[in-house]
Amino acid sequence: MKVKKAIIPAGGLGTRMLPITKSVPKELLPINMKPMIQYALEEGVKAGIKEILIIIRKDKDLIRNYLTGKVDEKLLNRKEIKYLEKLTRECKIDFAYQKYAKGLMDAISLGEDFVNNEPFAVLLPDNIMVSRIPCIKQLIDLFSERDKYSYIILKKFVGGIEPGEVDIGGVEYELISKNIYKITHIKNKKKRKVKLKNGEIGIKNFGRYVFKEDVFDYIKKFRTEYRGEYDDTPILNELASEGRLRGKLYNGLIFDTGNTAGYNKASLYFMNK
Site for ligand UTP, rule CB under 6 A: 9-16, 26-27, 55, 98, 101-104, 106-107, 124-126, 258
Torsion, Cα 104 203 182 9, to 10 degrees, reads 20
Question: Min. distance of Cβ 102 from ligand UTP in angstroms?
Answer: 5
Q: Which is nearer to ligand UTP, 199 or 228 (CB)?
A: 228
* Residue 59, C-beta contacts closer than 8 angstroms, at least 6 positions apart: none
Q: Which is nearer to ligand UTP, 47 or 107 (CB)?
A: 107
Q: Which is nearer to ligand UTP, 15 or 251 (CB)?
A: 15
Buried residues in 139-153 as b, exposed as e (16+ CB within 10 A)? bbbbbeeeeebbbbb
For residues 266 and 255, is the Cβ–Cβ distance under 8 A? Answer: yes
Question: Min. distance of Cβ 233 from ligand UTP in angstroms?
Answer: 12
Helices then strands, each counted (H, E), the chain: 9, 13
Which H or E run includes 201? strand 201-211
Question: Min. distance of Cβ 26 from ligand UTP in angstroms?
Answer: 6
Q: Which is nearer to ligand UTP, 144 or 259 (CB)?
A: 259
CB closest to ligand UTP, residue no = 12
Question: Min. distance of Cβ 189 from ligand UTP in angstroms?
Answer: 9
Determine the 3-state secondary structure of 81 from DSSP.
helix
Q: Which is nearer to ligand UTP, 23 or 177 (CB)?
A: 23
Question: Min. distance of Cβ 226 from ligand UTP in angstroms?
Answer: 12
Neighbour count for residue 55 (Cβ, 10 Å): 24
